[in-house]
Structure 1
Amino acid sequence: MIHYYAQDGGVLHASAGQPGVAIPAATLWIDLMDPEPEEAAFIGQSLGVEIPSREAIVEIEETSRLYQHEGTLYMNATLVSGLREQRPISSDVMFVVAPDYLVTVRYANLPFFEYLEDKFLREPETHSSSEQIFLSLCGSVVDHIADMLELMQRELDDMSGAVFSEERGAAPQPKGSRADLQQVVKRLGRNNSGLVKLRESLISMGRVLDYSNAWSELWLSEPGLDRSRSIERDVRSLVDYVAKMFDEIAFLLSATLGLIDIEQNSIIKVFSIAAVLFLPPTLVGTVYGMNFRSMPELDWAFGYPVALGLMVVSAILPYAWFKWKGWF
């Protein structure tokens, strides 16, 4: 699918395109969303550039992801989507940047692309060239990642409060509390997975910005270069923030697993105490359950109540001992 973004009255407006139909005048941005081979070939022939295939875009070698050919920059970034729906997916986006136009090739719906259309209407004066559109798109990507990190941080704060709340340590835990901790472990795992993909996107965007800055004389103005460096600084600060969040997740995971172990040990402790309490009565019952002929107590009139009394006393004494020691 081809989308053209051309200036009309100083504002970028979107229109759909078809292979064989001329590119509208004053087009600054061409967005290829899951393009068919004939669509990519048409745009490439119309602009005199090579539009990489999907197989070429997903290659991991840096020379295939970042390169320059005849004054046109080809830069590939791996971006994440679907975090709000808890289904994070990484997809590759190719930026083909020249002084007169920007071409993006992508194979997934990415929210930060949709944000731009609103920005075109609100700030038309800042989207009047290919470099401004490219930098605005990069800024939208970084802003979206920052928003996702803020959501994750709030969720981590909520989980931290649930794990380390005073009520959990001061009162007996209700039924299902261990299941709650298991849910915390699952949530931490989901956050860690999303964080990995966000870090990958940040590192990828950092490489794209660094590479575009290195070739700034081909297409970037001085204000554009300053803005690009500002976005790059934001990327570096977010990478540091992600590292801090990884440490927090690791700590919460370790603490949660420790609490689960403590609760499991408490259950085992109850079973161990119960076994010790019932062991002496069991021993008494076992002795007097034997049927040997020469057992003096068999003909004793008080043998039965005495045996029952021994069982009760043998259970009470260990209980009193444990209570005195404060073991439960």
Structure 2
Amino acid sequence: MITCYTLVNGMLTPKTITPDEPLPQDALWIDLLSPTDEEEQFLEKSLAVNIPTREEMAEIEESSRLYESERALHMTTTVVSGFSEQQPTGSVLNFVLTPDWLVTVRYAELSAFHAFRTKLSQHPGLHKRSDTIFISLLDSLVDRIADILESVQAHHNRLANAIFREPKPDEEGPKEPKSDLQSILKQLGRSSLLLARLSDSLLGINRLLSYLHRAASEWICREAKAWMKTVERDSRSLGDYQNRMNNEISFLLDATLGLINIEQNGIIKVFSIAAVLFLPPTLVGTVYGMNFENMPELGWHFGYPLALVGMVVSAIIPYAWFKFRGWL
């Protein structure tokens, strides 16, 4: 789908067009969402510039993501999409920037673009040039990353409370259910993967800003340069915040694994003590189950009950010893 934005009464106004329609001469921003081959060819012919395909955008080397051709700056970065649907994935976003217009190519719905459209109506005077539109889009991407980090941090706080929660004494009401440490472990793993994708996004945005400084410093307006510094500062601060969250995840992972080991050790302890308690009665029963001919106890009138008493006493003695030593 091709959405073309033009200035109408000083405000960017969207209009969806098809390859059968001519491209407006005063187009300032052209947004391509999951474009077809026909739409890509139409835009390449109309703008006389190469529009990268999805396969070209997926290349990871910097020379394929940041380059200049035909007076246009080609910049590609990775962004996180699908977070609101609880299915965050990495999506590639491409910018083609010239002093006259901006083209964005994407293959996923991005919340940052929806927020940017709201920003257009609130601050129409800031979006009258291609460079300011580009910086504003990056600013929206950084804001979206900040929102996701805040959500992940709140989720980590809930997981930390579940991990380190002390059980209530019996007199204070019904006991709370035990935390599902296996589920917590999986959630921490998913958070770690999400933070890795966010780190890629922040790194890509920083690379875009650095490249823009070098390649377009001559024609970028003063307002865009000032805005770039703000976006760079926010991006660096989010990078530091994300690193701290990675350390927090490592700590919570270690704590969860430690608690799982403690639970497993407690289970093994119960089986070990049970085995020790039943070992003496088993020995008594084994001795008197041999039925040798010269065993005088076989002829005793009270031999059977005495053997049962001996089994019980042989189990009680080690149990009492364990209680005395504080092992139970």
1:240: how far off?
A: 1.3
Question: Partners in 2 of 1:155 and 1:292 — Cα distance?
Answer: 69
| Equivalent pairs, count | 324
User: Match for residue 108 of structure 1?
Assistant: 108
Provide the secondary structure at the position in 2 that maps to 1:191: helix
Q: 1:303 aligns to what?
A: 303
1:159 paired to 2:165: no
Q: Secondary structure at the match of 2:67?
A: strand
Give the letter aligned to residue 161 of structure 2.
G
Q: TM-score, normalised by structure 2?
A: 0.94
Alignment partner of 1:48 is 2:51: no
Amino acid at match of 1:22: P
| Secondary structure in 2 matching 1:75 | strand
- Aligned position for 2:313: 313
Question: Any idea what SS the aligned residue of 2:292 has?
Answer: coil
Map of 2:220 onto structure 1: 220
Contact (CA 8 Å) 1:6, 1:25: kept in 2 or not?
Answer: no
Partner of 1:27: 27
Higher mean C-alpha displacement, 65-74 vs 258-267: 65-74
Deviations 1:198-225 (A, max 9, x none): 1111101110111111123343112211
Q: Secondary structure at the match of 2:19?
A: coil
Question: Which residue is equivalent to 2:178?
Answer: 177
Kindly report the root-mean-square deviation, in angstroms, between the aligned alpha carbons of the 2 structures: 1.7
The answer as to whether partners of 2:167 and 2:176 remain within 8 angstroms in 1 is no
Aligned residue in 2 for 1:324:
324
- For structure 2, the 5+ residue unaligned runs are none
Q: Displacement of 1:25 after TM fit? A: 4.2
1:190 alignment counterpart: 190
Q: Which runs of 4+ in 1 moved over 3 A?
A: 174-178
Matched, 1:146 2:158: no
Gaps of 5+ in 1: none
On the 8 A contact 1:77/1:205 being kept in 2, the answer is yes
Q: Deviations over 1:301-326 (max 9, x none)?
A: 12112111111111111011000000
Whole-Å separation in 2 of the counterparts to 1:324 and 1:186:
41
Q: What's the offset of the Cα at 1:196?
A: 0.8
Q: Deviations over 1:234-282 (max 9, x none)?
A: 1111111111111111110011011000011101101111111111011
In structure 2, C-alpha distance between the alignment counterparts of 1:273 and 1:175, rounded to whole Å: 28
What residue is the counterpart of 1:57 in the other structure? 57
Q: Tell me how far 1:95 sits from its aligned partner.
A: 0.3
Alignment of 1:110-125 (within 5 A): 110-125=110-125
- Cα contact 1:83–1:194 (8 A) shared by 2: no
Question: Which amino acid in structure 1 is aligned with residue 160 of structure 2?
Answer: S
**What is the aligned partner in structure 1 of residue 235 from structure 2?**
235
Question: Which residue identity lines up with residue 104 of structure 1 in the other structure?
Answer: T
Q: Which residue of 2 aligns with 1:266?
A: 266
Q: Secondary structure of the residue that 1:207 maps to in structure 2? A: helix
**Paired residues of 1:5 and 1:30 also in contact (CA < 8 A):** yes
SS at match of 1:52: coil
Rounded Cα–Cα distance in structure 1 between residues aligned with 2:218 and 2:36:
30
Change in Cα spacing, 1:25 to 1:70, as seen in structure 2 (3 Å) is closer
Q: What TM-score does the superposition give when structure 1 sets the normalisation length?
A: 0.94
1:94–1:106 contact (8 Å) kept in structure 2: yes
Q: Is the 8 A contact 1:6 1:12 kept in 2?
A: yes
Quick one: which amino acid aligns to residue 145 of structure 2? I
Q: 2:239 is aligned with what amino acid?
A: V
What residue is the counterpart of 1:287 in the other structure? 287
For residue 85 of structure 1, report the CA deviation from its aligned partner. Answer: 2.4
Contact kept? 1:10, 1:124, Cα under 8 Å: yes
CA contact (8 A) 1:160 1:252 kept: yes
8 A contact 2:19–2:39 mirrored in 1: yes
What amino acid is aligned across from residue 269 of structure 2 in structure 1? K
Cα deviation, 1:28-84, whole Å, max 9, x if unaligned, reads 100011112221122122222111222221111211110112432110111111123
1:177 match: secondary structure: coil
Once the two structures are TM-superposed, the CA of residue 176 in structure 1 deviates from its matched residue by: 7.0
Q: Which amino acid aligns with 2:24?
A: P
Seen in structure 2, the aligned counterparts of structure 1 residues 232 and 175 have a Cα distance that, compared at 3 Å, is: closer
Give the fraction of aligned pairs with identical amino acids, expressed as a percent.
Answer: 51
Q: Deviations over 1:170-204 (max 9, x none)?
A: 88xx79736x0111101001101111111111101
8 A contact 1:34–1:107 mirrored in 2: yes
